[in-house]
Amino acid sequence: MNVPFGDSRREVEEIRPEIEAAIRGVLDSGWFILGENVKRFEEAFAAYCGVDHAVGVGSGTEALHLALVACGVGHGDEVITVPNTAVPTASAISFAGARPVFVDVEPDTLLMNPDLLEQAITPKTKAIVPVHLFGQMADVGRIVEIAHAHGIPVVEDACQAHGAEWHGKRPGQVGDVAAYSFYPSKNLGAYGDGGAVVTNDPELAQRVWLLRNYGQKKRYYHSIVGFNSRLDEVQAAILLTKLSHLDAWNERRRNLARRYLSGLEGAHLSLPVEAPGRKHVFHLFVVRHPDRDALQTHLQDRGVKTLIHYPVPVHLQEAYRFLGYTEGAFPVAEQAAKEILSLPMFPQLRDDEVDYVVEQIRDFTG
């Protein structure tokens, strides 16, 4: 059997008539940038997130970048995040002109360790960016408590956490602002690039709203220096259609995760944990094994496609060598990078495919 890591074609087949109607609607309107679809999607997505404002932007990287700029982050500042994230978390900090500063993660969840936060804060710290990695929210309550005691805003990286919850709250409800990616493989993905900034703060939302569109409030009248980072009408129409499926698709991911967990119970490898009070939406299903590379090859040889998120922590990437970190700086994240393996996980994955993956893993681990 061949089990893909993901397969967008299966999703398209599930919802093709709705998607074609949505795209046709945009073509018929003759309006492609910042029109009715973006407005309707922003309203619907804000409601889904439980916040007052959502602003559609060009990508998740841009959502983080504009959120940081809107929070006042600029040259010479420091922004704290984690080393085990997608590199764009750090790129966005760099684009804002700031220096990424890392803190290590908790060994079980691999999410920002709030116990290490206080000691990383300096007078230059202008924002803290916890990353809700793999579909599970970091301990955002404690992070916000520490950050706000220092007057520092929290920008949540929710690029992998559409629909995830921390004590019943979603990204953007506890932190000051959250950034989403709609990269196609995300739990809510466009059929191209897209992103959104969500917040309850009307002034912050207004700044992002200006920043994404050349800093103009009225056509050709520019109140601040801005960028071009807009969600387009076609993607907004697709996202609006797909948003109505998100809860069901997240439930399916959780069911698949339960199937993996029960199938792999007692096997000699570490399984993902859902921390108390969190709702994990399993953007990725990540296991750990000390001989990860051999396990990956074993699965590859048996037709199972897996990926590693991520093989090199940001502080050890060539692009970030200038920060001066060396191996050993963040032992938990570094060890995890050597052991983690993401198994196939997407809503259209079949039960028999999960059972096949489980069987092949058990063959390897005993």
Ligand X SMILES: Cc1ncc(COP(=O)(O)O)c(C=O)c1O
Does position 86 interact with ligand X (CB under 6 A)? The reply is yes
The region, left, alpha or beta by phi > 0 then psi within -120 to 50, assigned to residue 138 is beta
Alpha helices in the chain (DSSP H): 8-29, 36-49, 60-70, 87-95, 140-149, 202-211, 233-243, 246-263, 292-301, 331-339, 351-365
Considering the complex, what minimum distance in angstroms separates the CB of residue 142 from ligand X? 20
Tokens 């929290």 correspond to what residue?
Answer: 154
Tokens 């609607």 correspond to what residue?
Answer: 25
Considering the complex, what minimum distance in angstroms separates the CB of residue 112 from ligand X? 12
Nearer to ligand X, 103 or 295 (CB): 103
Tell me which of 37, 84, 85, 213 binds ligand X, using CB under 6 A.
85
Does position 136 interact with ligand X (CB under 6 A)? The reply is no
Q: Is it true that the peptide bond before 220 is cis, omega within 30 degrees of 0?
A: no
Does position 195 interact with ligand X (CB under 6 A)? The reply is yes
φ, ψ at 287 (rounded to 5°)? -105, 170
Considering the complex, what minimum distance in angstroms separates the CB of residue 197 from ligand X? 12
Nearer to ligand X, 171 or 347 (CB): 171
Does position 59 interact with ligand X (CB under 6 A)? The reply is yes
Q: How far apart are CA 137 and CA 157, in angstroms?
A: 9
Nearer to ligand X, 138 or 210 (CB): 138
Does position 187 interact with ligand X (CB under 6 A)? The reply is no
**CA quadruple 52, 56, 62, 67: dihedral, nearest 10:** -20
Q: How far apart are CA 11 and CA 189, in angstroms?
A: 11
- The pair of three-digit structure tokens given for residue 101, joined into one six-digit string: 């500063």
How many residues belong to the site for ligand X (CB under 6 A)? 15
Tell me which of 113, 160, 173, 250 binds ligand X, using CB under 6 A.
160
Nearer to ligand X, 85 or 296 (CB): 85
Tell me which of 45, 48, 61, 249 binds ligand X, using CB under 6 A.
61
> 3-class DSSP state for residue 56?
strand
Binding positions for ligand X, rule: CB under 6 A:
59-61, 85-86, 88-89, 131, 157, 159-160, 181, 183, 193, 195
